[in-house]
Amino acid sequence: MTYFDQVNEAAEFLRGQLGGEQGRRAPRIGIVLGSGLGAVAEAVTDPVFVPYGTIPHFPQSTVEGHSGRIVAGLLGGVPVIVMQGRVHYYEGYTPAQVTFPMRVLGRLGLETVILTNASGGINSNYHVGQLVLLSDHINLLGFNPLNGPNEARFGDGKKTGLRFFDMTEAYSVELRTLAQSAAREEGQALHEGVYLATSGPSFETPAEIRAFRALGADLVGMSTVPETIVARHMGLRVLGISCVTNLAAGISATHLSHEEVFEAGSRVQHQLAGLLQRLVPTISAQQARKQAGQQA
Ligand code: HPA
């Protein structure tokens, strides 16, 4: 069975699990939750839960704080599919496995994905517990998930699914504008910054953080970038939201720990839930307007 067939099998299975209700069956917006950010899933009403372990070929997370299930339901009245927990390269998964769930979301027909993560703050204007929109990324993972033969069937064969494609606007400006408005209405301030991905699992050395800052990074983390790349390969729009769970090594007065990251995530997750509940309906309305415009 090819990778493409495995993805389709998982997508078919999920479609079946999402139940008969039309809205739930056809979510257009997906959300991936990072470390300690699970509360967003609790804001989903009328939920259906699908543990990763029950989905054919789906990788299962081994990290504490990533519980590993799909939550499908309504957020702000809009059908969404939420991935509570993700797998990382450092867990020993291949790049293809790391991006398998994003491929499945793409095959489900989503238009937009919101990728959240926990990160270390490099930019000296950031403080712990802050939410930052990703404006761009730097891939220092040491691989690109699209290395290998191009599977054009993941795209429409014309504008997406291409061997070579543009990454000038990996993180949608339009979505960032909507997110900024939603944040203002929530009384929140959102910075925007460049996210640098390393493989981990060790945190960085202070010298690495100085180097990353010189490279133009504002945030450092161990996820998101592979998902963004395959999402863009499939033509999905991406919004990245990072939660600064700690100041990066050498900037922080204390040594880093997973517990610290997890706790800071836990504290800010309600703020993130509030933001997404306000934001998702505006994204949905914008998608509907675009579709109407295309049909007119
Ligand atoms: N470095 C890398 N990944 C992270 C960090 C960090 O400081 N904090 C949360 N994820």
pLDDT on residue 102: 97
Q: DSSP letter at 248?
A: P
Instruction: Tell me the C-alpha distance between 276 and 76, whole Å.
Output: 8
Query: Ligand 1: distance of its center to the CA of 133 in Å?
Result: 16
- Residue segments in the chain with a per-residue pLDDT below the cut of 70: 20-25, 63-67, 296
Whether the CB of 221 sits within 6 Å of ligand 1:
yes
Mean pLDDT, the chain, rounded, equals 91
Q: How many Cβ atoms from other residues are within 10 Å of residue 244's Cβ?
A: 27
- Using the mean position of ligand 1's atoms as its centre, give its distance from the Cα of residue 93 in Å: 19
Tell me, using a 6 A CB cutoff, whether residue 203 lines ligand 1. yes
Locate the DSSP E strands across the chain. 29-33, 45-51, 69-75, 78-84, 112-121, 131-139, 191-197, 219-221, 237-247
227 with 271: CB under 8 angstroms? no
In sequence order, the β-bridge partners of residue 240 are 115
Tens of pLDDT, residues 49-92: 999 999 999 998 776 555 689 999 999 989 999 999 889 999 99
Is 249 among the catalytic positions? no
CATH topology for 3-286 is: Rossmann fold (3.40.50)
DSSP letter for 57, please: T
Domain boundaries, the chain: 3-286
